[in-house]
Amino acid sequence: MFKKWIYIVIIGAMLATSCVNKNGSTPVKWADATAPIAATKAYTRIIHSDTVMDEYYWLNDYFKQGPDSTSVVAYLEQENQYTATMMEDTEVLQESLFLEMKGRIKEKDESVPYLKNGYYYYRRTEEGQQYYKLCRKKGNLQSTEEVLLDVDKMAEGYSYFAVGGFSVSPDNKLLAYGVDTVSRREYTIHVKNLETGEVFVDKIERTSGGSTWANDNKTLFYTSKNPVTLLSEKIMRHTLHEESQHDVVVYLEQDNTNYIGVGKSKNGAYIFIYTGGTLSSEVLILDASTPEQPFRSFQPRIKDVLYSVIPLADRFLILTNDEAKNFKVMECPLNKTGKENWKEFIPHREDVLISDVEEFKKFLVISERKNGLTQMAVRSLEDSSQHYLDFGEPAYTVYPSTNVEYDTDILRYGYTSLVTPSSTFDYSMSSMTKELMKQQEVIGGYNSELYVTERQFASAIDGSKIPISIVYKREFEKNSQAPLLLYAYGSYGSSMDPSFSSSRLSLLDRGFVYAIAHIRGGEEMGRQWYDDGKMLKKKNTFTDFIDCGKYLVDENYTSAEHLYAQGGSAGGLLIGAVANMAPELWNGMIAEVPFVDVVTTMLDETIPLTTNEYDEWGNPNEKEAYDYMKSYSPYENIEKKEYPNLLVTTGLHDSQVQYFEPAKWVAKLRANKSGSNVVLLKTDMDYGHGGASGRFDYLKEVALNYAFLLKLEGVTK
């Protein structure tokens, strides 16, 4: 009745086919291989009087374990074999790239220790090991080391292993942590006695991984996930040594568009539950010394109002966007937390986004965004004086690092740029002096003077100025002949700030320019920048990226024959939309775990995270939202035309963007595209959204991406 996937039989005596570059330069040689063709099976979607035939819908059957689940795996494996065959002539290059990138990583290393409750905590890695040891020393760095968790040993026998959510009890005797061995972001929480080394039988499954201790050293609060949708839907209370099925629900989220979580204030006095979506939020509060008491609402949620709470010794601060697009800071008494008691502490500014407030006993550190750049202000709580830190580069990233001590005048912050390796500084907020504690060491040597970073602005079609961060080797010439990789994300208000990558040197040293387009949908230019790139304005994200590509071509950084694009997850949606809208602008594209079947996913509330996303994309059960997202969804808008060369990657166990979205997209692209450009799909059968868990294994994925780009440029070594 239905076609089985078959192979196209390519007839000819040639050992390889050739794709001629648009500029007529050296043709790209592709293997004489047969591309898989997915079966087409009738499936009809009818909503809002709109009928759509989705012939590749069956590819979502793996998790449903239906009649096509075995066929799905077989098809994905055929795609993997096809990709391996097409990239076979780059295997030596991939291995060389992998060893080159791995060789820059200091294998035996140690993080900068941080002080918490009398102990210095740090991680250290050993030569040849994929993971790390979580360690601490009591009182000073000369004392005896305690290895709290040997993750290298714990991960033995697992193809994927992630551990996180480390939480030490107030008496320093117990460690709670979460483990995920499937890559579905479902963690099992364990508790270890740090005095005896015993791992208790306490085992809490289907959690987000993190947990929070009450001050009694026996009560844990954690976030429980729905087993089907993987939504965080309950905050639970667990008593040590009791069966987890007896755990108490202390908060049940009624709004399936919200994310929830639980944490503890830096001063140790309060436990907070946070519940929020894109547009509104609420905080519930509990005295950390009375864990069996009920949580109370700090301020009941208000439509279209976000807020978070920062506790000080004598009052609460509230970071909120209530009548303040770019956020402001309010204050209220400890015993009167409702909005009617809020008074202005730091006013709203039209040109500055307040993104975070870090509290200390005598200081506040305020993270801001202005003109697309991050900045940090230090404010004295004693006299209200304020000063900014200076960084001296045109494009950079700065952020508060691990600051768990409340009574200190030392701010630890991280700093990096496209040419500056990740650096950790300790800054004295009293004396205004800083000390470099550690800078990422690039093995084999690295000279930042050999590279140049720039910040340019492209004009969008509506006149908006879009920042672009650029880096290249100093001998680069603007003659339109250099290959350029343009990266972006553009969703959820996540800002893609410029940062250093030792792996990226492998592209730069081979003549590539690398650029980040700070497009709308992120928050680089303030909250409005985000609002103008979501919901019914989502297409601004795509046109901004296209305009950045055109700017880089017009300014002779590159040409369409040498321009490449990359994005992952929601950034993969960007790649898919742009491939439909402006395929002629790019020679090649990399879409990693791409969210490309927007309408189908957003209509299926059983898929993890769907309902959480309504405030970002819209709810397609509403006709206006349905029509708009259908008008840009990459899968829905494939046409019979020539597309750029495409490398698409996914993970079978991905819970964020499930494997069938890119699989369906590739199948439909193959059936419709014209021309000789290739479409490759690589599915990792062991991993999920974040890829490999080991600190070296992920470099194999990077090596494949780079080899794809270099092959298209005719670079073989």
CA 499 to each of CA 332, 435, 504, 562: distance values in angstroms, whole numbers, following the listed order: 37, 20, 11, 23
In this prediction, residues 377-397 reach a mean pLDDT of 92
DSSP code for 4: P
pLDDT band at 688 (very low <50, low <70, confident <90, very high): low
Number of H helices, E strands in the chain: 13, 42
Integer Cα distance of 193 and 262 in angstroms: 23
Taking the chain, what is the end-to-end CA distance rounded to the nearest angstrom? 48
CB 210 within 8 A of CB 271: no
Q: b vs e for 304-332, b when ≥16 Cβ sit within 10 Å of the residue's Cβ?
A: ebbbbbbbbeebbbbbbbbebebbbbbbb
Which residues contact residue 157 at a Cβ distance below 8 angstroms, ignoring those fewer than 6 apart? none
Domain that holds residue 419: 349-443
Tokens found for residue 649: 């990657």
Q: Which class for 140: exposed (0-12), middle (13-18), buried (19 or more C-beta within 10 A)?
A: exposed
Q: How would you classify the pairing of strands 588-592 and 563-568?
A: parallel
Burial 223-259 (b: 16+ CB within 10 A, else e): bbbeeebbbbbbbbbbbbeeebeebeebbebeeebbb
CA distances from residue 177 to 226, 267, 497, 509 in whole angstroms, order as listed: 20, 21, 30, 41
- Residue 68 has a pLDDT of 75
Sheet with 296-297: list strands edge to edge: 259-264, 270-276, 281-287, 296-297
Q: Report yes or no on 384 lying in a domain.
A: yes
Q: CB burial class (10 A; 0-12, 13-18, 19+) of residue 338? A: exposed
Confidence check: pLDDT of 393 > 90: no
Q: Are 89 and 426 a contacting pair, CB within 8 Å? A: no
Catalytic residue of the set 169, 506, 569, 693: 569
3-state DSSP helix/strand/coil percent for the chain, to nearest 5?
20, 35, 45
Among this protein's residues, is 569 annotated catalytic? yes
Q: What is the mean pLDDT of the chain?
A: 91
Residues with Cβ within 8 Å of 194's Cβ and at least 6 positions away in sequence, in order, are 146, 148, 168, 172, 173, 174, 175
Considering the candidates 497, 654, 684, 697, report the single residue annotated as catalytic.
Answer: 654
CB neighbourhood size of 10 (10 A): 12
What confidence tier does 3 reach under pLDDT thresholds 50, 70, 90?
very low
Residue 226: which pLDDT band, with cuts at 50, 70 and 90?
Answer: confident
Task: Establish if 397 belongs to a structural domain.
Answer: yes
Phi-psi region of 701 (alpha: psi -120 to 50; beta: other; left: phi over 0): alpha
pLDDT of residue 623: 97
Rounded to the nearest 5 degrees, what angle is found at the Cα of 174, between the Cα atoms of 170 and 175?
100
pLDDT tens digits, residue range 479-532? 999 999 999 999 999 999 999 999 999 999 999 999 999 999 999 999 999 999
Of 49 and 158, which is predicted with more confidence? 49
Q: Is the pLDDT of residue 690 over 70?
A: no
**Residue entry with tokens 């975070």:** 356
Cα–Cα distance, 467 to 460 (Å, whole number): 10
In whole angstroms, how far apart are CA 151 and each of 50, 185, 205, 686? 52, 17, 19, 19
Residue 67 reports pLDDT greater than 50: yes
Is the residue at 394 inside a domain? yes
pLDDT of 438 reads: 96
Q: Tell which wins on pLDDT, 254 or 323.
A: 323
How would residue 694 be classed by pLDDT, with cut points 50, 70 and 90? low
With CA atoms as reference, report the closest residue to 677 among 635, 705, 644. Answer: 644
Torsion of CA 628, 631, 633, 639, to 10 degrees: 180
Q: What's the number of domains the chain is made of?
A: 1
- Judged against a pLDDT cut of 70, whether residue 24 lies above it is answered with no
Q: What is the mean pLDDT of residues 433-460?
A: 95
Strands 397-400 and 386-388: unpaired
Answer with the residue of higher pLDDT: 227 or 517: 517
d(CA 442, CA 453): 18
**Of the listed 506, 689, 693, 697, which one is catalytic?**
689
Classify residue 686: in a domain, yes or no: no
Count of C-beta atoms within a 10 Å radius of residue 712: 22
pLDDT at 21 over 50: no
Distance CA 582, CA 592 (A): 19
What is the per-residue pLDDT for 2?
24
Dump pLDDT digits (tens) for 131-150: 899 999 999 999 999 999 99
What SS3 state is found at 435? strand
Phi, psi of 272 (to 5 degrees): -115, 140
Predicted pLDDT of residue 14:
30
Show the tokens assigned to 11.
Answer: 């007839």
Would the pLDDT of 27 be above 90? Answer: no
pLDDT at 160: 84
Question: d(Cα 574, Cα 345) in Å, to the nearest integer?
Answer: 39
Beta strand 645-651 with 563-568: parallel, antiparallel or unpaired? unpaired
Average pLDDT over residues 631-650: 97
pLDDT tens per residue, range 562-596:
999 999 999 999 999 999 999 999 999 999 999 99
Would you state the structure tokens that stand for residue 222, as one six-digit string? 């954690």
Provide the b/e sequence for 188-202 (b: ≥16 CB within 10 Å).
bbbbbebeeeeeeeb
Does residue 26 surpass a pLDDT of 80? no
Contacts within 8 Å (CB) and 24+ apart, 73-79: 73/652, 73/685, 74/5, 75/5, 75/36, 75/38, 75/39, 75/663, 76/652, 76/659, 76/663, 76/681, 76/683, 76/685, 77/685, 78/5, 78/36, 79/36, 79/663, 79/666, 79/681, 79/682, 79/683
Span 641-651, average pLDDT:
96
**Is the four-CA dihedral 524, 529, 534, 538 of positive or negative sign?**
negative
Give 296-299's long-range contacts (Cβ < 8 A, gap of 24+). 298/337, 299/337, 299/338, 299/339
Amino acid, res. 166: F
How many CB atoms are located within 10 Å of the residue 68 CB? Answer: 20
Flag whether 71 is in a domain. no
Task: Collect all residues with Cβ–Cβ distance below 8 Å to 343 and sequence separation of at least 6.
Answer: 330, 331, 332
Assess whether pLDDT exceeds 50 at residue 8: no
Instruction: Let me know if residue 402 belongs to a domain.
Output: yes
Q: How far apart are CA 240 and CA 188, in angstroms?
A: 15
Q: Which helix (H) or strand (E) holds 547?
A: helix 539-554
Residues 6+ apart with CB under 8 A from 578: 542, 545, 546, 565, 585, 586, 589
Per cent of the chain over pLDDT 70 is 94
User: How far apart, in whole angstroms, are the C-alpha atoms of residue 606 and residue 508?
Assistant: 43
Give the model's pLDDT for residue 611. Answer: 73
- If you ran DSSP here, which 8-state letter would residue 112 be given? P
Smallest CA-to-CA distance from 229 within 614, 611, 533, 547 is with 611
> From residue 486, how far is each of 470, 563, 576 by CA, in Å?
9, 8, 14
Task: Please report whether residue 365 resides in a domain.
Answer: yes
pLDDT of 9 strictly over 50? no
Strand partners of residue 120: 115, 137
pLDDT exceeding 90 applies to what percent of the chain?
81
Dig out the tokens for 240 from the structure: 């040590």
Q: What count of Cα atoms within 13 Å lies in the side-chain half-sphere of residue 273?
A: 31
For 80-125, what is each residue's pLDDT tens digit? Answer: 999 999 999 999 999 999 999 999 998 888 999 999 999 999 999 9
What pLDDT is recorded for position 22? Answer: 40
For residues 62 and 527, the model is more confident at: 527
Is 518 marked active-site? no
Lowest mean pLDDT of 294-308, 516-530, 687-701, name the range.
Answer: 687-701
* Residue 367 counted as domain residue: yes
